[in-house]
Amino acid sequence: MKRTYVIACVAAAALAAGGTATGVALADGGGSGSSAAASTTASARTASTGSGSVSPSSGSGGVVTVDGVIRSAQASEPGTVTSAELDHGRWEVDLYGKDRVRHEIRLDRETGKVVSSRRDGGDQDDRKGAPVTAVRAAAAARGAVPGTVTSVELDNGRWEAEVTAHNGSRHEVYTDLTTGKVTSAHLNRHQHDDAGHDADD
């Protein structure tokens, strides 16, 4: 009788925590009580962790990382990102869609959610099929200069990224379009007045 009462308490606790107690047998049979309790605990754990939607990764300070922004943009409009930049308090992404149209997508800097999206009838980027993606170029830039990537862009046959180092200095990092290797990195001494706001991390 005590075993039945304990199992019932465990099931009630699991339900109160948002778990599910389906399939729990309140029986006195040998060993069935411990098995039922384990099943209930596992169900509660599954319910608490869940498999809900994954929000874009955020860096310190609540600003969505460039990787998270690129994923959000591509989820909104499948295609190849040719640039992503943190500018005037928001992320702006240029993307060559699978519909063969260039899109400009703006995203919230803190949540990574798409704020607006429009088609751009301008020149298409002839490097849309580059083997090195924007995410890979951003990772290479962070490897060269540890810090926060605030922009990554296809420019003159290479990837150009801006990184705000942990000490606050800003750097430009260039990555080869086909190998993904960093070709050069240097301190950017021509910083914009609003750089401090856009580079929050």
- Which tens digits make up the pLDDT trace of 34-45? 444 333 333 333
pLDDT at 186 over 80: yes
Give tens-digit pLDDT for 126-151.
566 679 999 999 999 999 999 999 99
136 contact partners, CB below 8 Å, separation of at least 6: 180
Average pLDDT estimate for 160-189: 93
pLDDT at 127: 63
pLDDT band for position 176 (cuts 50, 70, 90): very high
pLDDT digits (tens, 9 = 90+) for 72-117: 999 999 999 999 999 989 999 999 999 889 999 999 999 999 999 9
169 or 4: which carries more pLDDT confidence? Answer: 169
**Euclidean distance between CA atoms 8 and 10, whole angstroms:** 5
Instruction: Give pLDDT, residue 197.
Output: 44
**Per-residue pLDDT at 189:** 63
Residues 11, 4 contacting (CB under 8 angstroms): no
Rounded to whole angstroms, the Cα distance separating 179 from 1 reads 69
Confidence of residue 158 (pLDDT cuts 50, 70, 90): very high
| Residue 177 contacts residue 127 (beta carbons within 8 Å) | yes
User: What is the per-residue pLDDT for 81?
Assistant: 95
pLDDT score, position 120: 79
* pLDDT given for residue 6 in this prediction: 37
- Residue 156's pLDDT is what? 87
Euclidean distance between the first and the last CA atom of the chain, given in angstroms as a whole number: 57
Q: Find, among 19, 65, 63, 69, the residue nearest to 39 by Cα.
A: 19
Encode pLDDT of 5-49 as tens digits: 433 333 444 434 444 333 333 333 344 444 443 333 333 333 333
